[in-house]
Structure 1
Amino acid sequence: MSLETFWFALVAVLFVMYFVLEGFDFGVGMLLPFLGRHSEPDGDKRRRVLLTAIGPVWDGNEVWLITGGGALFAAFGGWYATMFSAFYLPLLLILVGLIVRVVAIEWRGKINDRKWRMWCDVGIGLGSWLPAILWGVAFANVVRGIPIGADAQYTGGFFNLLNPYALLGGLTMVLVFITHGAVFLALKTTGDLRHDAQSVALRLAIPTTAVAAAFLLWTQLEYGEGWTWAVVAIAVVAAVVMVAGAYLRREGLAFGATCVAIAATVGLLFCVLFPNVLPSTTDLAFNLTVANTSSSHYTLVIMTWAAVIMTPIVLLYQGWTYWVFRQRLAVERIPEHGGLPLREEASRAGRS
């Protein structure tokens, strides 16, 4: 395997990890107004349980996006430059959504005021729905291809990105993430909140599987190779197991299945893309590929050594974090008003 191919595979792994881990964070944010309604007497406590469930890990999960973007910039500068100029507006909106979400999560408990918390909840919702939709649209367009000229410049407009395949990708990402989040909450909570999360996962299991299957089939038939049917099969089996886990109320099984399904879906997009990194719909001769967008061999060698050393450290640290905060959370163990860091509130609300 060449270093160029190795780094394409590593970029794929980094984005797979991001979508698997950050996916349930987005799902929890999208479910916040439904599982923690303001009209309920314990609505604020329920919302704090939802946020506490992701509190110790959500910022660590975003490290995979930062690392993936950095690896893309360093290893494939040409891919990075063209893609970020073509998707400037969608990526800007994703960034704004992520910033609003960060601020809302961190500042929600700083002021004991109902309206303050309500507006923070709006920010969390906006910062969850918007990136979920736009990530699906962006990655679908990367696979489909965009108008690129001989100078590797994007020659289309914003509405070129809103094609049926890309919109289906956005819908798929939203449904998969919200189902992923519901299953995660069923795994992390107790009592009525756990039951409500299970009910949401149960209602979403079939529609999510149907939409995701349509997207996978379209991707495979239009852009796939013979061997990539194996990746489709893995995603389909995982989706079936997720549905079975939801109906049997086996949230551990269902959560593992959604992780595999998301990994296989994102992995399929990278598999059908290779050896291209950004196809041109103008002329195949203008395709951006692994070969013509990669950095120098020396740069890739240095990056490879850094990755070999640092990646195991990141995995060990993040795995330790998930282990420490593995307890289920209960509404009755949440104090009347927040203000504590989410990690401390998670420790107090947890039950071994």
Structure 2
Amino acid sequence: MENVWFVLIAVLWTGYFLLEGFDFGVGILLPVLSREEADRRAIVKTIGPVWDGNEVWLLVAGGATFAAFPEWYATLFSGFYLPLFLILLALIARGVALEYRSKSDSTRGWDRALFWGSLVPAFLWGVAFANIVRGVPLDADHEYTGTLLTLLNPFALLGGLATLLLFTLHGAVFLALRTTGDLRQAAARMAKSISPAAFLVVMAFLLLSGGGGGAVRWAAVALVALGLIGAVAATVRGRDGWAFTASAVAIVALVCAIFSGLWPNVMPALDPANSLTVTNAASSPYTLTVMTWVAAVFTPVVLAYQAWTYWIFRRRLTGAA
């Protein structure tokens, strides 16, 4: 059951990065694509009906980690307290901006909050996962012994830049899919401009991360490369749906590469003897069994609701929307 829940948590993070990834990208691109209020309003409307539902994946991933791997949760949230707290503040600022932007006479302050509330998590999630992949200083009690500067190492900053560029590209492709006219063309141009840097940085991060995973991990790395190439190729040809699918494949494959490289660890330590694994960090078999039944009942409901939401709000928007 421990391995099953390791996979399920990887799936939850995949869903979060896939869906919140384009939310972050849209927020980052908001002040870049247009200075016209009508266009900015259309940009915000592309994620307005879905952004809060997308955040559910993060809440469930955190809750599942707490219940299935309490040792992992405790070490992660104590050692990474400041970065995770900054992410929380940024998400709060972004949520407030999305809710109150349309209710204010002046939108400049809300647009800034939306921009920084998207950029900060897009960067810091990469920093956090890069440190997990690299390994962190843990003592024999699995307590983090480093400092904030320990987390801001060059490899972690590379990981942050990788997720920042990947989510920005994902957001540009999403906007090209969901808008029309000049706004769609601007988003497509942005996707083509970002893609070379995103490809180089993401692939550098994956190649430098090393780790285990064997054939599964290297297959995932290859899919990341193909997804990024496919996204820009489809954008050039005006195939927005295929471009979004390709960028989605790249994100899914990235998370797969990270988690397949981690297993059987959940939090590697610089001293391997102190690493947290799926075995020593897991809850009791009874707890995992109960969680499995709960997940089997409620997960289809959540998926059905989100699918319905995206179907209802599927039409393209214009600056006049």
Scaled by the length of structure 2, the TM-score of the pair is 0.98
For these two proteins, the number of residue pairs brought into alignment is 320
For each residue in 1:110-166, what CA deviation from the matched residue of structure 2 results, as whole angstroms up to 9, or x when unmatched?
A: 12x22xx11011110110000011000000101111000011111110001111111
Q: Distance in 2 between matches of 1:9 and 1:225?
A: 13
- The residue aligned with 1:4 is 2
Q: Distance in 1 between matches of 2:168 and 2:78?
A: 29
- The residue aligned with 2:225 is 236
- The residue aligned with 2:197 is 207
Match of 1:145 among 131, 135, 145: 135
Q: Which blocks of at least 5 consecutive residues in structure 2 are unaligned?
A: none
Q: Distance in 1 between matches of 2:2 and 2:143?
A: 22
| 1:1-352 equivalent positions in 2, closer than 5 A | 3-37=1-35, 43-111=36-104, 113-114=105-106, 117-219=107-209, 222-227=210-215, 228-281=217-270, 283-332=271-320, 334=321
**CA shift for structure 1 position 245:** 1.0
Q: Distance in 2 between matches of 1:165 and 1:266?
A: 17
Q: Distance in 2 between matches of 1:25 and 1:48?
A: 15
Instruction: Answer with 198-207 or 68-77: which moved more.
Output: 198-207
**CA shift for structure 1 position 105:** 0.7
State the structure with more CA Rg. Answer: 1
Is the partner of 1:328 in helix, strand or coil? coil
**CA shift for structure 1 position 268:** 0.7
Q: Distance in 2 between matches of 1:246 and 1:108?
A: 30
> Is the 8 Å Cα contact of residues 264 and 278 (structure 2) preserved in structure 1?
yes
Q: Distance in 1 between matches of 2:223 and 2:40?
A: 34
Q: Distance in 1 between matches of 2:256 and 2:218?
A: 12
**CA shift for structure 1 position 226:** 2.9
**CA shift for structure 1 position 237:** 1.4
- The residue aligned with 1:346 is none
Q: Distance in 1 between matches of 2:34 and 2:100?
A: 18
Is the partner of 2:140 in helix, strand or coil? coil
Q: Which blocks of at least 5 consecutive residues in structure 1 are unaligned?
A: 38-42, 335-352
Q: Distance in 2 between matches of 1:190 and 1:238?
A: 24
**CA shift for structure 1 position 246:** 2.1
